[in-house]
Structure 1
Amino acid sequence: MASEDVKTSESAVSTIVNLAEEAKLAREGVKAPSYAVLSICKSLVAGGVAGGVSRTAVAPLERLKILLQVQNPHSIKYNGTIQGLKYIWRTEGFRGLFKGNGTNCARIVPNSAVKFFSYEQASKGILCLYQQQTGNEEAQLTPLLRLGAGACAGIIAMSATYPMDMVRGRLTVQTERSPYQYRGMIHALSTVLREEGPRALYKGWLPSVIGVIPYVGLNFAVYESLKDWLIKRKPFGLVEDSELSVTTRLACGAAAGTVGQTVAYPLDVIRRRMQMVGWKDAASVVTGDGRNKGPLEYTGMIDAFRKTVRHEGFGALYKGLVPNSVKVVPSIAIAFVTYEVVKDILGVEIRISD
């Protein structure tokens, strides 16, 4: 019995040692294949939950932004953020504030997964080439290189999930008078595919892809560059022991999101308008005598820009910017905090932008 107890104790010690070694390897970045897969899955779950919670929290502002972007300038329903939200509440009720949010959340998980994974791979590849070119193995990514890696990630993620974003826009602006009545994301995708063809799922794709270059690229570049600056310079005593507080990280993310969305916003407006071509109550053209002629038809991105500015002025490219800006800070704040909480619960060791 004693020998069996000794063997059992040795086995338990051996198991503990093995687990400790695996944990040590995990902390050092040397992970077994199974652990790596599990870590990636946990990261995706954490990112998905964070994205879904943050998007749901600001869903009314997101819907109002899209409605402002595509509304007919000769039949104004939404004059601002407060008035617009009150109008939606009065005409459609509480559920109207969250119309299209299910589809929006459904695309967050794959979009975030592809975006962050693509950024990881792109940044590693770009850094490797940069180190080889400079001959300096200690070289780090510059803000410009981070911008390039973020742009690659944004393009890949946007292209992979664009059909879902397209039908989300239609579900968001759908009313009883809309040409199609979609019951949900799957029904919308199948209806567009059947009635309008595969190309319809990618209407507005070009301005979307062009838009994510400054948007996602600047998000990563500004966020990481601000973090590096705060850690290395330690201004105002904000950083101690090279660790950023949650508040400081949120401030970095808010600054990055604000810069990115402001630069890319006109392309987002054009994308929405191209997606809504042929829909009642969308932006329309006006004749010389000032009468509404009917829905605008765009032949492409440049034509959409030209007609929008000609008929509605340059300011039309920034319709909905206020509610979009208002939702940037709380959205990023909630996403970061939620991600950190879920990450701690699941034991995820990969940071958002490492």
Structure 2
Amino acid sequence: MASPMSGDARTPPRGAAPYALYQFGTSGAAVAVATAATHPLDVIKIRLQMQLAGQRGNLVGMGAIFKQMVEREGPRSLYLGFAPALTRSLIYGGLRLGLYEPCKHVCSYAFGSTNFAFKFASGVVAGALATALTNPMEVLKVRSQMSTSRISTIGVMKEIVSEEGVKALWKGVGPAMVRAGCLTASQMATYDEAKQVELHRWNGWYTCDCTY
């Protein structure tokens, strides 16, 4: 009799859809909390990057940027672009991590295996797709952080669309997809493989997803 861990590698896992929704929700919420806590640093980073190398005088540092923003624009300026940043975090974080397992299960069903190469490919797809879908939020976030005026997110979007067209919301999406794909693949595939190796080492068996 086959063990509980054995079976047809092409049989989809039970409960995959509810588990994927659970991963999407928890992953998105975790990234959103991290975004809320670190958003002021992101705003300061954008302002530092805006400085022109050829401007008169020395370039100011992070502390000076922080002081200038609080004194000239008020403490709320540290959360410029927070609405699109939070929206992006919820969706991007959920998709990037939530799509990894479903992609891996597709590989298991289609190819009968989820070795490291398929895990890496699953990470690339998850990261790239998440970035492609959320790039408009990233553009809106950066534009809001660069502006010293208090324009709403909707106002920024209308301004971009009217002056540059809808395609402007996907500026930089190519490099962003490559970066997110490689980042997600390296993180998720390495973690997944290391976890299974440790399980094999300490428990004496290898929990391979290809047996689902």
TM value normalised by structure 1 = 0.47
Establish whether residue 64 from structure 1 lines up as the match of residue 14 from structure 2: no
Over 3 Å counting, the alpha-carbon distance change for 1:82 and 1:222 in structure 2 is farther
Matched, 1:226 2:194: yes
State which of 175, 178, 196 in structure 2 corresponds to 1:210: 178
Aligned to 1:184: 152
User: What residue number does 1:94 align with?
Assistant: 75
CA contact (8 A) 2:24 2:97 kept: no
Q: Quote the Cα distance in structure 2 between the aligned partners of 1:183 and 1:84.
A: 21
Greater displacement, 43-52 / 151-160: 43-52
- Which residue does the alignment assign to 2:127? 154
Alpha-carbon distance between aligned partners in 1 of 2:85 and 2:100, rounded to the nearest angstrom = 22
* Change beyond 3 A, Cα 1:212–1:43: closer
Deviation at 1:121, TM superposition (A): 2.7
Structure 2 partner of 1:164: 137
Residue number among 44, 52, 58 corresponding to 2:32 in the alignment: 52
* Alignment counterpart, residue 148 of structure 2, candidates 175, 190, 195: 175
Which position in structure 1 is the counterpart of 2:208? Answer: none
TM-aligned CA deviation for residue 100 of structure 1: 1.3
Given that 2:123 and 2:188 are in contact with CA atoms closer than 8 Å, whether structure 1 keeps it comes out as yes
Residue equivalent to 1:316: none
Structure 1 66/130 Cα, relative in aligned 2: closer, same or farther at 3 Å? farther
**Distance (whole Å) between structure 2 residues aligned to residue 192 and residue 163 of structure 1:** 11
Q: 1:45 to 1:114 in 2, by over 3 A?
A: closer
SS at match of 1:209: helix
Give the deviation of 1:41 after TM superposition.
5.0
- Cα displacement (A) at 1:40: 5.4
SS at match of 1:97: helix
Larger radius of gyration: 1
Farther off after superposition, 199-208 or 224-233:
224-233
Question: In the superposition, relative to structure 1, how do residues 232 and 78 fare at CA in structure 2: closer, same or farther (>3 Å)?
Answer: farther
Cα distance in 1 between the residues matched to 2:199 and 2:96? 25
Q: 1:231 to 1:70 in 2, by over 3 A?
A: farther
Unaligned runs of 5+ in 1: 1-28, 132-138, 177-181, 235-239, 243-354
Q: CA deviation at 1:141?
A: 2.8
Shift of 1:175: 1.5
In structure 2, how many angstroms separate the alpha carbons of the residues matched to 1:112 and 1:47?
Answer: 6
The letter of the residue matching 1:219 is Q
Q: RCO higher in 1 or 2 (8 Å CA, sep ≥ 6)? A: 2
Of 115, 121, 138, the residue aligned with 1:141 is 115
Q: Is the 8 A contact 2:104 2:122 kept in 1?
A: yes
Q: Report the Cα offset of residue 211 of structure 1.
A: 1.6
**Structure 1 residues 86, 221: CA separation in 2 closer, same or farther (over 3 Å shift)?**
farther
Instruction: Write out per-residue CA displacement over residues 9-53 of structure 1, whole angstroms, 9 at most, x where no aligned residue.
Output: xxxxxxxxxxxxxxxxxxxx744x9xx55x655544433332221
Cα deviation for residue 129 of structure 1 reads 4.1
CA RMSD of aligned residues (A): 3.0
- From the superposition, tell whether residues 217 and 41 of structure 1 become closer, same or farther in structure 2 (CA, over 3 Å): closer
Closer/same/farther in 2, CA of residues 42 and 145 from structure 1, 3 Å limit:
closer
Residue equivalent to 1:201: 169
Specify the code of the residue in structure 1 equivalent to 2:38: V
Sequence identity, in percent?
Answer: 23
Residues 141 and 82 of structure 1: is their aligned pair in 2 closer, same or farther, counting only changes over 3 Å? farther
> Contact 1:127–1:141 (CA<8 Å) still a contact in 2?
no
